[in-house]
Amino acid sequence: MKRRMSTSISTKTEPKRQRLFTHCFLPMILLLSAAFFIGSAFIITDYKEKILGWGSVMVLQYSRSKMCETQCRAYGSEALPRGIISETSDLEMRPLWGAQNKKPKLSMNLLAIAVGIKQKENVNKMVKKFPESDFVVMLFHYDGIVDQWKDLEWNDRAIHVSAVNQTKWWFAKRFLHPDIVSEYAYIFLWDEDLGVDHFNAKRYLSIIKNEGLEISQPALNPEKSELHHPITARDKNSTVHRRTYKVIGRTKCNENSTGPPCTGFVEMMAPVFSRASWRCSWHMIQSDLVLGWGLDFQLGYCAQGDRTQKIGIVDSEYLIHDALPTLGGSAENKVSSPSSESGGRSEVKKQSYIELEIFKNRWKRAINQDNCWSDPYEQSTKKQK
């Protein structure tokens, strides 16, 4: 009897538990399951989005890294944002206060002359031949005298640099860096002893532009000038010439000649460089070889193309070269004995030959050491030797 009662009680209890499970726990389990699956979907979607996002970021970062690697930045400027970097400059004077000149910049050129006070009168004539609207003037004072130029009308607009007993090439290497003079279309790097009565700067500019000359010089009047190389002598029947047909030492110049001294050559007393050719030529000037001997025979490498076409002598605008031996004299405006001056000048000439040999040896050594450089004039050089 007792057993039957316990059985019926347990039987009655089980349906109650089932109902409790069905009504209370099952909905809760289903709700939690639904929440789990829905949440999982969101989590997976979010995870996928994050993965895709991270992938996009990595691709962008990689692309940016590659792009930045290909950008060429000036040495020392790597820590700066590109937009703030000012890579070039000029020789234009700026006011200390007031509005800047907002007129559009014209294409300007640079006239740079190494000067001493003894040649003041001739330098004045030279500078007046170069219009202010087209040229910036820069004087390199090798005698240290600057104040005595102040009475000249153009003095205040000229740039004055002074260093005692230094040469034109010493000044040029230190003060005419390509990034400083990059604003100027042409750079006239002249000596002080040039007669300019038959020279017109504007006409000269027009001719070299039309002829496509990257390196040039005005011809020299052979009757009144000291000539060192026949190619620079004026041809009265020509506007421009690019070669000579004379016999120079053991070299017979003709229409087949491809290099100096027959073609592709200017002397160093009055060279005119384009912006691009000066950038190349400046790098060839040696800091410690201040007399410039040897450069003239190698300028063809900086001619931006065929040196027989890109280098020329302008006959219609010509000069007289007095060839005054100014360097080696007194550094100050004092009276010095002729013997001391001639002695100094002979020492300068001796040094010129020494520097020429040093430059030649450096050139040969540079060729031998640079496996990546090929000589575009190798065959013509061998023929001339």
Rounded to whole angstroms, the Cα distance separating 314 from 271 reads 11
3-class DSSP state of 249: coil
Secondary-structure class of domain 108-331+341-384 per CATH: alpha beta
Chain segment 289-345, per-residue pLDDT in tens: 999 999 999 999 999 999 999 999 999 999 999 877 666 544 444 445 555 566 677
Closest CA to 247 of 268, 271, 223, 231: 231
**Residue 115 one-letter amino acid:** V
Please name the residues in contact with 295: beta carbons below 8 A apart, sequence gap of 6 or more.
169, 268, 281, 284, 285, 359
Q: How far apart are the first and last CA of the chain?
A: 138
Contact 140, 114 (CB under 8 A): yes
Query: What span, in angstroms and rounded, lies between the C-alpha atoms of 25 and 233?
Result: 114
Whole-angstrom CA distances from 281 to 170, 215, 292, 372 are 14, 10, 11, 20
Written as six digits, the tokens of 73 are: 């930045």
The CA distance from 277 to 286, in Å, is 16
Looking at residue 70, its pLDDT comes to: 55
Q: Which of 95-109, 116-130, 238-252, 354-368 has the lowest mean pLDDT?
A: 95-109
Range name among 56-65, 175-184, 193-202, 342-351 with the lowest pLDDT average: 56-65
Residue 338 · residue 269 · CB < 8 Å: no
Residues 295-308: tens digit of each pLDDT: 999 999 999 999 99
Angle among Cα 225, 204, 131 to the nearest 5 degrees reads 100
Asked if residue 314 lies in contact with residue 208, where contact means CB atoms within 8 angstroms, the answer is yes
| Domain residue ranges in the chain | 108-331+341-384
Q: For residues 194 and 199, what is the distance between their CA atoms, to the nearest angstrom?
A: 10
Q: What's the CA gap between 354 and 131, in Å, rounded?
A: 39
160, 154 Cβ separation under 8 angstroms: no
Whole-angstrom Cα distance, residue 358 to residue 351? 10
Reported as half-sphere exposure (CB side, CA atoms, 13 A), residue 234 has a value of 20
pTM: 0.77
Query: How many other CB atoms are found less than 10 A from the CB of residue 116?
Result: 22
